[in-house]
Structure 1
């Protein structure tokens, strides 16, 4: 069954919802800036027993790291952490309370996937605590992994063969559809369908969700094999498309 997975996105030390494709060195197009800190949201998810969510630091600001660590302490073993994860700091976030670390950019050198780097970080985390972030952008009729805040398109395609091969090296995949992230214009249905066909491990899709109906749609397209993160449309992030309460009821099978 497709489940709702919560998120905490950090940018410039604040919990925000942004338009993913707009993120660059100068900032980002912002949909929402919260008055609450990351620990508040982590505690909210903990109290409602929402599991498998992620806290992502968008940028290397010191404040982002401090906020992320406070969220991990508030919900130990309840959140995955991503943002600048390398073999040198992966253990720090796991020891701070992350259930998993999420890694993308570290795995690439000059736009090419590095199996050597994957092996190095696996020695720090084990496959059971590693999530591979395969967030991608569309190129023609295909999708390619995008790194460096989704601005650099790599040569690694998100396709069935690569999904099967990479699944042997991690516990889960996290995949943002960067072209629709934050737009609330609907999910990338073709990508969700592909993920449902070819992911031997758990996978969470994010990007474009705008209503509770999208949970049902992802369930239908993926045969219940793909989970969904809803960000900008969610009421706790200033959205009007869906409430957190309804997402909780969905996970409980009551809607």
Structure 2
């Protein structure tokens, strides 16, 4: 299990938000934390700790300059997501991203758009694409959600789905959207599902707030599911020591 750090950008600032609160109206959100530090500050920290595979997420418009600054700080050290399409994916890779992370471009109108997925892979190659399968539970299953986690698709996270999509990408990133940013504990049922079903590396996000939560994910995920943590970390105003998480996952 690896620790994959994050840099979430909202209106050009490093923030932590309650994921399900993000709306289209004025790109507003319930903010847990806004940093006084630049994106480059966090990139340098992650680089010093050799935390490859972390991700920069652009939450809405107004984040291009901040994202470019972050990517410039560590060539091919971090992944980037937020508004990625086949038309702009190579721009982000050329800026220094190791991978691009995609959701809404591939999951459109409530289903998988394989035409867009194939266009994307033709540009990035399988080895530089991460599919964001962020999801919410409904009727005992996990459905992929898009449009800032507001819209349910008809795609269920299952072994069949993960095997199918794994042929197009290098990794999965999965936010448990219902618990993201709440610091109320991880969704261990989802973690177990990912560990049992994903044939490629997968990073889980959502609800991790203590070292006990880290160990619970390690156990539920049989050490096969990587983790990312946001609002709970002390570097983002939370109570959980960033340094202790780095050490726990080494």
With structure 2 as the length reference, what TM-score do the two structures score? 0.97
Spell out the pairing of 1:68-107 with structure 2 (5 A cutoff).
68-107=67-106
Matched with 2:116 is 117
Secondary structure at 1:9 match in 2: strand
Spell out the pairing of 1:17-32 with structure 2 (5 A cutoff).
17-26=16-25, 27-32=28-33
Matched with 1:245 is 243
Q: Give the ranges of 4+ consecutive aligned residues of structure 1 lying more than 6 Å apart after TM superposition.
A: none
**Mapped contact 1:4–1:215 kept (Cα < 8 A):** no
Spell out the pairing of 1:59-74 with structure 2 (5 A cutoff).
59-61=60-62, 64-74=63-73
Offset from partner CA, 1:101-123 (integer Å, 9 cap, x none):
00010013321211111100001
Spell out the pairing of 1:1-255 with structure 2 (5 A cutoff).
2-26=1-25, 27-61=28-62, 64-240=63-239, 242-252=240-250
> For this pair of structures, how many residues does the alignment match?
248
For 1:230 and 1:109, the matched residues in 2 are separated by 27
Deviates more, 1:243-252 or 1:138-147: 243-252
For 2:146 and 2:19, the matched residues in 1 are separated by 12
Cα distance, 1:171 vs structure 2: 0.3
Please, which runs of 5 or more residues in structure 2 have no aligned partner? none
Cα distance, 1:71 vs structure 2: 0.5
Please, which runs of 5 or more residues in structure 1 have no aligned partner? none
For 2:132 and 2:205, the matched residues in 1 are separated by 11
Offset from partner CA, 1:131-179 (integer Å, 9 cap, x none):
0000011112111111111111111111111011111110000000000
Offset from partner CA, 1:48-90 (integer Å, 9 cap, x none):
11111000001022xx111111101001111000000000000
Computed over aligned residues only, the root mean square deviation of the Cα atoms, in angstroms, reads: 0.9
For 1:249 and 1:184, the matched residues in 2 are separated by 20
